[in-house]
Structure 1
């Protein structure tokens, strides 16, 4: 008998734990999604993607199955998707690899126990398990199934990894590309990279973007929650530039802070990020940003409506990511913030086109752009803002992304 339970503060319907109970919807296209931390979403990009893919599902001929990183063996329904927990030991950085393998095996075994499931699709998010995928791909093909992979961004370029780990990520990516029946890239630049760097495998690829929305925050301009946050952080509406993202070197926090310190701006620079004491100490040693009262590390904001309002009320937004594909925080900024100043790399230009201003890592580039941005008229800013919102609505809305995925899944 089904009953209600709560996961991430969201009520879901628990399912019985029978391992061999029949699937009563085998006439549907069965799609197994592996690699996110699960839904209901309370994490990052892939989690939000799976949440939206299932929440806005329109094609009833598809049945989604979603793995979740959990400590028990609970099975439950959420957004019409069958979800199952995978318990993974705490083994450090290898935990994500173990999780993907264990979850994918669970999905394969599920189909083996139900021969009435025809032509299942197994969609693996990211390229963590390349050295192990060959055998698993054979099992998938023996079931009449297909292996889809989202290659994500250039994980092997991230500065946080040691040289041996970066070599692993690159090798793993290579093997995932080799064995995938289809690679779904959320960036045209990533798709071009896959087709060029791994042309020896003649990879089959398609482009389906990540999504966002342009809905305004539910909070008003004078909401006490917003005003209290401003008072605590020493900020005022439209009097701060903003950045939201992981505090890691490849997101170019050093360049953004250094250049802001060079600028003549009277505004503040609010940095919403996770803590990284080692990196923070290193940057302070090089830049001495604590001597500049405009630089404000304001911690993290987990309330989605408050964060959206903070984005909306920012004068401008900085985006310094350079190793990913279509970055969720960039889409969110384009959908919320009027003026966006982006690092001039292919990934970012592909998304924003002429709906943003661009800077490079050359000395003085961003500082000059900040000073120029401070002099823009309201009309100029509104023109840029309207273009940004149109970019999201026309090419990156969740409704469009979900339709694109459903079309791909039903085609196969």
Structure 2
């Protein structure tokens, strides 16, 4: 037993239900518990009342009720969780910098906090001016307040190094599970067949190139299906309405799908995985697609090129994306090469074994000596 105790802040909770950081926290928690660490995760609950605790697969969970929904509720939760953590001993890992100003309390308390700085949130198109200023200020705050920073992509590290010394930053990417088989019967509800469809799995936001990809696919009949996963609300969101109106009858909008076996089957049996993200570092969905051996078509930027590698197909605009469909939908040999390249790149840098071992090494290095001494005395 190591006697070390890690507290994880900044996520909705585990087991994962909401996104990449929750999945990472779940994986890291289980990994560290197996190595003898004690792990506490702070979990947001959409209810009222007092805090309570539970244990999940050896992980201590502190549940903090928040009655407000949306972004405001997340800010309130982060405030409450950070305040609650001030009485704890050990090392702290904060996932995301969206409320990094709250971590000043930990710094003043003398606690050691490692912050994963995520992507460049203030550049995202979906945020208004006030939100962008809030994220920009908190990015700056996180750089100065965190004892050490984690960047999930070399270009994110380069960006952060314009704010703070590069020696304060460690680059560790996101990880994923390898998928070598999947249940083809799970495709039946969508009336699709293996290799006769492609898939987009992302939040339907403008910076994720939904409109460009849908328009380029819909220019001509393809004799191919395109599944566009996501929580579309066309009655209340004009961008969502634009995307749906631009779609040909070969495009399917099945909604958001959270069942892991279904999502894995959609990736594994797709001809192409389309990734339109223009902002951010190492995207979890792209890594998971590579782990499933997907042939990747991605927006051409330095974030996606480093992750997916040189054999993926890249587009700068709608016309280039359409040209990729024209060429690759009839080039089976190219698809085979792209699939093999995805798996090779995945094994090179993005397996959970690599990522979690790198995190444990970093967290062990930053574990506070005084906290370790106290844990030994308790033991």
State the TM-score, normalizing by the size of structure 2.
0.89
Deviation at 1:279, TM superposition (A): 7.2
Alignment of 1:155-304 (within 5 A): 155-196=121-162, 198-199=163-164, 204-219=168-183, 221=184, 223=185, 225-227=186-188, 229-231=189-191, 235-263=192-220, 265-277=222-234, 281-282=238-239, 284-285=241-242, 288-290=245-247, 292-304=248-260
Match of 1:53 in 2: 28
Deviation at 1:274, TM superposition (A): 1.0
Decide which of 55, 72, 80 is 1:102's aligned counterpart: 80
Contact 1:194–1:203 (Cα < 8 Å) also in 2: no
Contact 1:247–1:276 (Cα < 8 Å) also in 2: no
Deviation at 1:246, TM superposition (A): 0.7
Match of 1:388 in 2: 342
SS in 2 for 1:83: strand
SS in 2 for 1:110: coil
Match of 1:116 in 2: none
Deviation at 1:322, TM superposition (A): 1.4
- Which has more radius of gyration? 1
Contact 1:177–1:203 (Cα < 8 Å) also in 2: no
Structure 2: where are the runs of 5+ without partners? 367-379
Decide which of 89, 96, 104 is 1:134's aligned counterpart: 104
Deviation at 1:98, TM superposition (A): 1.6
**How many correspondences in the alignment?**
363
Contact 2:217–2:325 (Cα < 8 Å) also in 1: yes
SS in 2 for 1:364: helix
Match of 2:371 in 1: none
Decide which of 75, 80, 83 is 2:58's aligned counterpart: 80
Q: Distance in 2 between matches of 1:323 and 1:294?
A: 28
Structure 1: where are the runs of 5+ without partners? 1-24, 112-119
Q: Distance in 1 between matches of 2:153 and 2:174?
A: 8
State the TM-score, normalizing by the size of structure 1.
0.82
Structure 1 runs (4+) greater than 6 angstroms displaced: none
Deviation at 1:399, TM superposition (A): 1.2
Alpha carbons of structure 1 residues 244 and 285: separation in structure 2 relative to 1, 3 Å: closer
Contact 1:316–1:340 (Cα < 8 Å) also in 2: yes
Alpha carbons of structure 1 residues 102 and 355: separation in structure 2 relative to 1, 3 Å: farther
In the TM superposition, what whole-angstrom CA distance separates every residue of 1:293-338 from its partner, at most 9, and x where no partner exists? 1122121222111111111111111100111211111011112253
